[in-house]
Amino acid sequence: MSKTSTVQGQRLTARGVVKKIFQIREIVILLLVLLLATFMALNHPQFMSMPNMRIICNYMATDMIIAAFLTISLIAGNTDFSVGSNMGCSAFVCGLLLNAGLPIPVCILAALVCGCLIGALNAFVITKFKVLPMIVTMGTWMSFKGVGLMIINSSTLSNFPVAFKAIVQDGKVLGIPTLIFVMFVATIIAMILLKYVTFFHQAYFIGSNKESAKLAGINVNKFIYVMYILIGLAAAVAGVLSISRYGSAPASLGQGVEFRIISALLIGGVSLNGGEGSVLGTFLGVLLMALIANALTLFAIDTNLQNVLIGAIMVISVAVDEANRRRQK
């Protein structure tokens, strides 16, 4: 073999390695995160400050608590557009009971039960009536948005006990702020469930071919119930932590969360068609969304542009996902 042929073969091999690296969605998103972070660090003096780092972490924390478990569900082909309304409704239940003078643990427990019940309702309609998850959860999204506003009479709940507000405002676990600690715990739990627990790892099989999964003996309906209840629980946790952080429960709580989270999932490589994705990819997607929002704030750009970007990201991500699906056929 000639020296020229060897060199060409090495070049082709190197190109192939680079191509495979960039086909790994997590690496691409990580590079985008690093590029945006570097740009911000060089062009805005406040970006690297500790207060701003805390703002970014808090921004992404509530989203990631929900997104971690929604990732597993979406890999199985089951989305949930009701998470924002669930988050708000559960938080309003907690806030209303706090104002009624009930003990803090009882109020939090009631909120968690509310979140689980909303998740169970989604699962019941999906499995019982064989309706597409997207249609069902968009319906419950609107319904529980209305229920939540009725609970608080479209006003803001406040005057919560100091001890409740201190859970997030002053609380730390192992030296880590409570909200950020819960985010990491939720992320790690979801990673372990998806990778090492057979029941949850089945999400890939269900998402790839639901009928084949049923023929293989997988209880798809049970999986749907477990996942939607877990997502509901996560939404309730995010809601409770949010009103503890803010010290109030505004009527707008949870609005837009569902689209922001699903956009982050799509960016991170979770396919709307199911069968693909990872919790790590979702984490990087949520982080990228948080950095974009932070950049818009620091540069005093109209916050409405964030909604424009989220919509554009969703459309582009779905288009890329569909193109990849067709190429794999």
Give residue-wise pLDDT tens across range 7-48: 444 544 655 554 455 457 788 899 999 999 999 999 999 999
The structure tokens 């620091």 sit at 298
| pLDDT for the residue numbered 30 | 92
* pLDDT tens digits along 118-143: 999 999 999 999 999 999 999 999 99
* pLDDT tens digits along 207-257: 999 999 999 999 999 999 999 999 999 999 999 999 999 999 999 999 999
| pLDDT for the residue numbered 12 | 46
Do residues 237 and 65 lie in contact, with contact meaning Cβ atoms separated by under 8 Å?
A: yes
Rounded CA-CA distance 76/203 in Å is 4
% of the chain beyond a pLDDT of 70: 92
* pLDDT tens digits along 58-70: 999 999 999 999 9
* pLDDT tens digits along 78-120: 999 999 999 999 999 999 999 999 999 999 999 999 999 999 9
CA nearest neighbour of 190 among 308, 62, 296, 73: 73
Q: Which domains does the chain have, with CATH numbers?
A: 25-328 (1.10.3470)
Do residues 53 and 74 lie in contact, with contact meaning Cβ atoms separated by under 8 Å?
A: no
> What Å distances lie between residue 79 and 145, 205, 238, 270, CA to CA?
18, 16, 18, 11
% of the chain beyond a pLDDT of 90: 80
* Single-letter amino acid, residue 26: E
* pLDDT tens digits along 130-178: 999 999 999 999 999 999 999 999 899 999 999 999 999 999 999 999 9
Query: Is residue 266 over pLDDT 50?
Result: yes
Stated as kind and residue range, the H or E segment containing 96 is helix 83-99
What is the mean pLDDT of the segment spanning 307-325?
Answer: 79
Q: What is the mean pLDDT of the chain?
A: 91
CA nearest neighbour of 234 among 64, 58, 65, 61: 65
| pLDDT for the residue numbered 129 | 97
| The length of the chain, given as a count of residues | 329
C-alpha of 185 from chain center: 14
> For the residues of 51-90, what is the DSSP string, one character each?
HHHHHHHHHHHHHHHHHHHHHHHHHTT---TTHHHHHHHH
Q: Strands (DSSP E) along 264-316, which ranges?
A: none
